[in-house]
Amino acid sequence: MSVTVRGAIEQSGLVPVDARALLSHVLSRDRAWLIAHAGDALDRAQADAFFALAKRRREGEPVAYLVGRREFWGLSFEVSPAVLIPRPETEALVEAALLRLPADRALRVLDLGTGSGAIAIAIATERPLAQVTATDVSGEALEVARANAVRLGAANVTFVEGDWYDGLDGGRYDGILSNPPYVAVDDPHLREGDLRFEPRLALAPRLGALSALASIAAGARQRLVDDGVLVVEHGYDQADAVVALFERCGFVDVHSLRDLAGVHRVVAGRRGPESAGTGLHG
């Protein structure tokens, strides 16, 4: 007995938004088409493919990995289990960076721990005069990021494999950006939801929740031009600690910024004079 578009969604055992995303993927149709063709019958292969994906989703696999893509900053990024799934809150980092990076001149921008390339490519798209360098310690992640850059036409992004600042040339940057791992290794959220399937090293640094942020901040001043900016994402309860970290590392005009949900999610600061540094170097 055949099943209709509407019937498949109802029988999937999923919340409708997830079911529609999976069925759109299987049918190569958008969600408006699903609504307009709710009474259309699926053929056997389509139904089997959809219900197989629905089962995997019920078992917890993220929709983004099942369909192989996620939208970020109005762009469609390919994703795989080698990279974190881009999230809406990270758009606050991109917005903060764009407010601090002028559009009318050439720039050098560094994205540390690029993953899927979402931040780097979003910046490169909005700042076509910029030369963006994106690093990641994972070669698999960089394969995903490079493919996204090619597909999205971001020819002004260069990729470097290395741990944070490793492998870079000696040049300085107008902006350094990062959404690094910042979750404590014993945080129970790592055993829940989509996080169970995402790369652990991209979520939780081995040496403590703030260790990656500390390494990035400590190494940033010597790699930024005068008045260059550092913008990072952090955990929902880490704003005060990250602001203090920036200030200890000699940054001025340090601001804690909220994401669209109203959560303090991003800290931005400007490279202060040499005398502002206080003993944290990298």
| 210/244 same-domain check | yes
Q: Distance of CA 211 to CAs 133, 181, 207, Å?
A: 22, 9, 6
* 103 within domain boundaries: yes
The answer to whether the CB of 243 falls within 8 A of the CB of 267 is: yes
Domain CATH number, residue 226: 3.40.50.150
Asked whether residue 126 falls in the same domain as residue 246, the answer is yes
Q: Which of these, 256, 255, 217, lies nearest to 236 by C-alpha position? A: 256
Q: What pLDDT, on the 0 to 100 scale, is given for residue 276?
A: 52
Please give the backbone phi and psi of residue 54, each rounded to the nearest 5 degrees, phi first: -60, -40
Indicate the SS3 state at residue 136. strand
Whether 111 and 248 map to the same domain: the answer is yes
Local confidence pLDDT in tens for the 282 residues of the chain? 689 999 999 999 999 999 999 999 999 999 999 999 999 999 999 999 999 999 999 999 999 999 999 999 999 999 999 999 999 999 999 999 999 999 999 999 999 999 999 999 999 999 999 999 999 999 999 999 999 999 999 999 999 999 999 999 889 999 999 999 999 888 888 888 889 999 988 998 888 999 999 999 999 999 999 999 999 999 999 999 999 999 999 999 999 999 999 999 999 999 987 755 543 333
Cα separation of 90 and 65, whole Å? 18
CB atoms within 10 A of CB 227: 13
Same domain, 10 and 85: no
Number of structural domains (the chain) is: 2
What tokens appear for 131 in the block?
Answer: 């030369």
- Note whether 134 and 12 are same-domain residues: no
Residue 128 lies in a domain: yes
Indicate if 88 and 154 belong to the same structural domain.
Answer: yes
- Strand runs labelled E in 185-263: 224-233, 251-258
Q: Are 51 and 87 within one domain?
A: no
Residue 282, in any domain of the structure: no
CA 23 from centre of chain: 25
User: Do residues 150 and 259 share a domain?
Assistant: yes
3-state class percentages of the chain: helix first, strand second, coil last, to nearest 5 = 40, 20, 35
Q: Examine residue 119 and state whether it is found in any structural domain, yes or no.
A: yes
Q: Are 161 and 135 in contact (CB under 8 A)?
A: yes
Task: Give 27's DSSP letter.
Answer: H
- Please give the DSSP secondary-structure letter assigned to residue 43: P
pLDDT at 275: 53
3-state secondary structure of 42: coil
Asked if residue 186 and residue 157 are part of one domain, the reply reads yes
Cβ atoms of 28 and 67 closer than 8 Å: no
Amino acid at 196: R
**Same domain? 179 vs 44:** no
C-alpha distances in angstroms, 18 versus 12, 56, 157? 9, 12, 32
The torsion angles phi and psi of 127, rounded to 5 degrees, stand at -125, 75
Question: What Cα–Cα distance (Å) separates residue 129 from each residue in 96, 100, 101, 107, 209?
Answer: 18, 15, 11, 7, 35
- The helix-helix angle for 211-220 and 239-248 (nearest 10°) equals 30
CA 117, 120, 124, 127 dihedral sign is positive
Instruction: Write down which residue in 59, 88, 105 finishes a domain.
Output: 59
Same domain, 22 and 49: yes
Host domain of residue 237: 70-276
74 and 55 share a domain?
A: no
Q: Which structure tokens are listed for 153?
A: 């036409």
Alpha carbon 189 to chain centroid, angstroms: 18
Torsion of CA 184, 185, 188, 190, to 10 degrees: 100
Total length of the chain: 282
Residue-level pLDDT at 191: 87
Please, what sign has the CA dihedral across residues 67, 72, 77, 83? negative
